[in-house]
Amino acid sequence: MLAIGECMAELAPLDRPGDYHLGFAGDTFNTAWYLARLRPDVTVSFLTAIGTDSLSQKMRAAIAEAGIDDSHIRTLPERTVGLYLISLDRGERSFTYWRGQSAARHLADDPEALARAIEAADLVYFSGITLAILEREARDRLLGTLRRAREAGKRVAFDPNLRPRLWTGPEEMTETVMRGASVSDIALPSFEDEALWFGDADPEATADRYRAASVETVIVKNGADPVHFRHGATGGTVAVPPLSEVVDTTAAGDSFNAAILAGLDGEEAMPALILRACRLAGIVVRGKGALVPFVPASLAD
């Protein structure tokens, strides 16, 4: 599996106000991190770009220590990595970003390196944030390479991850996100965002829209409400196990996605796979920060 996107330095709040923990996280990287723990038998790689400064090198070391292949990470001497700070309000999080000099904005600038990385993977995973941080030419290059990879038999998974502040406007965001869907086999949208920016009346409308874009498997996350899915000729809903406590919702969707991707090569029915993904997300929201340690066996029935 190859994840493509931006990893950033993360400042996560500790128990005492004003104290923060420095870590490394980012939507597609978070999914790769959780997948590497769920499936140690699978080679999980990450494609991004970093600088040569000490923070960039700490990030690279953290990626390797997580058991993630770092051979597709480009190094750009004139750049560094982005930074974000998490603020919490009764479990809901908001972010403050510093990413103007982020090397990840140039992750798709080398077409040969991009093609080699994707060719080496069976499953490729990217997001709306991956698309948003790229310049138009690099964005077109990535989507074209993914389209050709899908036509050649690779599986492509996509989380729309709608973040309007990263785009010039809503129209650019929604149009580009649907271009991303058009090169994907699997889409993992969140209904709240989809309803806000696409006007979907319900999760079924979200699933219908992505299926119309040629996506075979659509799994619509909806917070504490049931997950809706379409998978080939099947479809349905899965109830989310109730939670007594929510500490930090950072990476809830990213971890959910990891559990889905981890089971796609098996024989497990989609409802059981979704339930396991909900259990992992339930563990993650009871911890602080994006990367929460867990025991894979705890996700079993």
Which residues are known to be catalytic? 254
Residue indicated by tokens 């770009």: 49
| CB-side neighbour CA atoms (13 Å) of 268 | 18
Radius of gyration, alpha carbons of the chain:
18
Strands (E), 29-176: 45-50, 73-75, 83-89, 92-98, 123-127, 155-159
**One-letter-per-residue 3-state SS of 6-69:** CCEEEEEECCCCCCEEEEEECHHHHHHHHHHHHCCCCCCEEEEEECCCHHHHHHHHHHHHCCCE
The Cα 106–Cα 81 span in angstroms is: 11
| CB-side neighbour CA atoms (13 Å) of 164 | 8
